[in-house]
Structure 1
Amino acid sequence: MKRLCEVLDVNRSSYHKWLVGAEVRAVRQHQDRGPAREIRQVHGESGGAYGSPRATAGLRE
């Protein structure tokens, strides 16, 4: 591990912090899938024309 961190120029403590947070990131990604799907749907229905203000309004409907 030490050599890998040296090659990548990453502190070992940073790597371990990232590793510990993997489960939290996985949960967050799972939670984000639903809203992301809805955003893609609203954007697609507009033919890709809606920007964030209109997409937000479409999601609120």
Structure 2
Amino acid sequence: MTRILVDHDRCEGHGLCEQTAPEVFRLDDEGELHLTHEEVAAEQQGVVAAAVRVCPVAALRIQP
């Protein structure tokens, strides 16, 4: 399993990660990003990697 790291100071709440992988990323009513879980199962790695790539402020990383 891999881990998702979020730089909350960098995140601007654009929501592209949530649109790409809504089963992992969630924005609350204030635009704060939350993870449904920090560790990613093998079958979700592709969609999570896509969500990390679409972040316009590079606030997301995957740690093996």
Q: TM-score range by the shorter chain?
A: under 0.3
TM-score (normalised: structure 1): 0.27
More helix by share: 1
TM-score (norm 2): 0.26
Q: Which has the larger radius of gyration?
A: 1
Which structure: greater strand fraction?
2
Which structure is richer in relative contact order (CA contacts within 8 A, separation 6 or more)? Answer: 2
